[in-house]
Amino acid sequence: MANKVAIVGIGQTYHKSNRPDVNMPEMVGEAVRAALEDADMNIKDIEATFHANMETFEGIYMPDHIMAAEMGGFGKPGLKVATGGTSGGSAVCEGFYMVASGLQDVVMVVGYEKQDCGDTTAAITAALVPSWSKGAATGAIGEFAKQALSYMETSGAKEEHAAMVRLKADKGACRNPYAHLKLGLTSIDQVLESGYLVWPLRFLDFCPQSCGACVLILASEEKAKKITKKPVWLADVEVVHQEPFRAGTFGDPTGTETYTQHVACENIYKRNGITNVRRDIDLAEIYEPSNWEEMNLYEHFHFCEKGEGWKLIEKGVTEMDGEFPVNPSGGVIATNPIGATPIIRVAEAALQIRGDAGEHQATRDVKTALASALGGPNWTTLALLKREM
């Protein structure tokens, strides 16, 4: 049986399109110092660092070669991961494994992306296999456009429902001091009037490219009790891999394929006795680069029956003051510093459990939360967080 793992420190930078005032390590250092301050700890207390960044998205290969000092990782053990969109989620899993196994007691999980440096879509395009998909390369946007069309066709969702998801996200982002896009949207027409990025995905249907970093400090039960009065327990994590191409990347119109999301959530639900998701979990922070994908994920994660994701947003179930809030932070559609994004999901879920989310604190009491991530190489990572364990 795994040892208990607590989140004892949370730090993030503010997020925006451009940060020419800092280089990559300096930006990461801001989040590291914020997490240390949150935990009231010294860098000497950190035994190891696990960090996530999608190298080449900044046009720089092996960014870890400039990253030890500002990250506080000099002379310490650690690993770097680059698993696409899930990079930060993979790093959370690594940190969890090390503390749960008892090999380390206090570790730091760091994620960052500085997208003013490179061209993320160009880098994603370079990931495609020349023989099958090079000519069809439209980066992440094209994949999510196909997903949107599939979802529209199979579920019966209307563009209005996607617009409602965007409005919900923007409401959260406007209340979140760290969020990137705060648009102040007031009507679904504003979303429906925005132009097409890649049909049928509209400009306001998709996430921005953000610069930012997010850091978690994880500790064993014994250490956690000394560090904080409000530990949030990282009860469990799950990682599942799948090859994207043959299964259809983000949505199979035939509906016959199994997704990593299905496998991952069924595993974690089973291990933790979760049989009715909306009863047993109070809130979710999911990785939704587009509003359409958010509705799709409601279904994949069994927040509702298949084909009914759009009904959750229509009924207001997933609003900040709803029965089952999803992404009160504003989510990925408002803020996407890729390597940091899954760590922000876990961080935001933890803040909700601590009751420290401020203006975007969910109305209902949050004792248990789920955080997810997805990405191009089709990993799914999940984290289950609890106040009591």
Q: For binding to another protein (CB under 8 A), which residues are involved?
A: 19-26, 29, 43-44, 56, 58-60, 68-70, 72, 74-75, 116-119, 122-123, 126, 130-131, 134
State the nearest-atom distance from the C-beta of 63 to another protein, in Å: 10
Cβ proximity to another protein: between 78 and 309 the closer is 78
Token pair for residue 151? 């979802």
Element at 123 (helix H, strand E): helix 120-125
Query: CA separation (Å) from 350 to 29, 268, 325, 369, 371?
Result: 21, 18, 14, 8, 9
Of 119 and 252, the one with the shorter C-beta distance to another protein is 119
Q: Rank residues 113 and 299 by Cβ distance to another protein and give the closer one.
A: 113
As measured in angstroms, the least distance from the Cβ of 28 to another protein is 10
Cα angle 280, 284, 290; round to 5: 145
131 vs 256, beta carbon nearer another protein: 131
Q: Give the side-chain half-sphere CA count within 13 A for 251.
A: 25
Nearer to another protein, 137 or 247 (CB): 137
Q: Least distance from C-beta 137 to another protein, angstroms?
A: 11
**Cα separation of 133 and 246, whole Å?**
11
Give the residues across from 78 on adjacent strands.
Answer: 49
Structure tokens at 314: 């229509």
Nearest alpha-carbon partner for 325 in 357, 300, 293: 357
Number of Cα atoms under 13 Å in the Cβ half of residue 248: 15
CB of 45 to another protein, least distance (A): 11
Q: Which is nearer to another protein, 131 or 254 (CB)?
A: 131
3-state helix/strand/coil string of 165-198:
HHHHHHHHHHHCCCCCCCCCCCCHHHHHCCCEEE
d(CA 339, CA 342): 7
Q: Which is nearer to another protein, 30 or 288 (CB)?
A: 30
Q: How far is the CB of 348 from another protein (least distance, A)?
A: 26
Q: Which residues contact 105 (CB under 8 A, 6 or more apart)?
A: 47, 99, 219, 220, 222, 223
Q: Whose Cβ is closer to another protein: residue 124's or residue 346's?
A: 124
Smallest separation (angstroms) from another protein to the CB of 280: 41
Two structure tokens written together for 284: 């979710």
Distance, in Å, from the CA atom of 115 to the CA atom of 26, rounded to the nearest integer, reads 14
Nearer Cβ to another protein (200/377): 377
To another protein, the closest distance from the beta carbon of 18 in angstroms equals: 9
Q: Provide the minimum distance between the beta carbon of 47 and another protein in the complex, in angstroms, as a whole number.
A: 14
In the 8-state DSSP scheme, what is residue 134? G
Q: CB of 32: closest distance to another protein in angstroms?
A: 9
Burial category of 294 from C-beta neighbours within 10 Å (exposed 0-12, middle 13-18, buried 19 and up):
buried
Q: Mapping DSSP to helix (H, G, I), strand (E, B) and coil, where does residue 346 land?
A: helix
